[in-house]
Amino acid sequence: MNKAFVREQPSDADDDDDGAQLPPLPPGGKNYLTPQGYARLRAELKTLVEDERPKVVETVSWAAKNGDRSENGDYIYGKKRLREIDRRIRFLTKRLDIAEVVDASLQHGNDQVFFGATVRYADDKGAEHTITIVGIDETEPLQGRISWISPVARALLKAREGDSVSLPTPGGLATLDILEVSYPPRA
């Protein structure tokens, strides 16, 4: 069969390419994080390095001693899990290296929308929404935590309580009325 028609299996080198998995940062942008988000990422990195990875390495080395590695499930899946852990460790290390921690409590009492703000707004239909503007690595849309580069956050940033902002949507231009802006209290 001609080699042009044979689909090759991805190699382990392809598994190490974690660039495609990174959420995109704006060109020249920084990886802003709240202090809580930074602490959460550091805790995950610590758990991976100090707990999970050593356990998997121990399992893989035990499985390697058992003989035929080609049919050894513990060895095969252990190596796969080890690659996943190493990929996540590299990802977290890169993200934490470029992280800029922003303490939103310094804005407490301010009525202008900046990173870390909790904003209550009403849309065109009168439905009220409450969101908190956070870093890319700490978004949880179902809990109202949206990225600072999302379209809604970009429309709201730098606006003040009582302002109306325009949000381009696929259905046309929407208007958001900012009802309340709050920040966490200072510690």
**pLDDT tens, position by position, 133-163:** 999 999 999 999 999 999 999 999 999 999 9
Per-residue pLDDT of 45-81, as tens digits, reads 999 999 999 999 998 888 888 877 777 788 889 999 9
Segment 12-26 shows an average pLDDT of 49
Instruction: Report the C-alpha gap between 35 and 116 in whole angstroms.
Output: 10
pTM, 2 dp: 0.77
**DSSP character at residue 150:** S
Instruction: Report the C-alpha gap between 44 and 145 in whole angstroms.
Output: 19
Domains defined for the chain, CATH in brackets: 30-101 (1.10.287.180), 104-182 (3.10.50.30)
Q: Are strands 118-122 and 172-182 parallel, antiparallel or unpaired?
A: antiparallel
Indicate if the pLDDT at residue 132 is higher than 80.
yes
Which residues on adjacent β-strands are paired with residue 139?
none
Which residues on adjacent β-strands are paired with residue 132?
118, 145
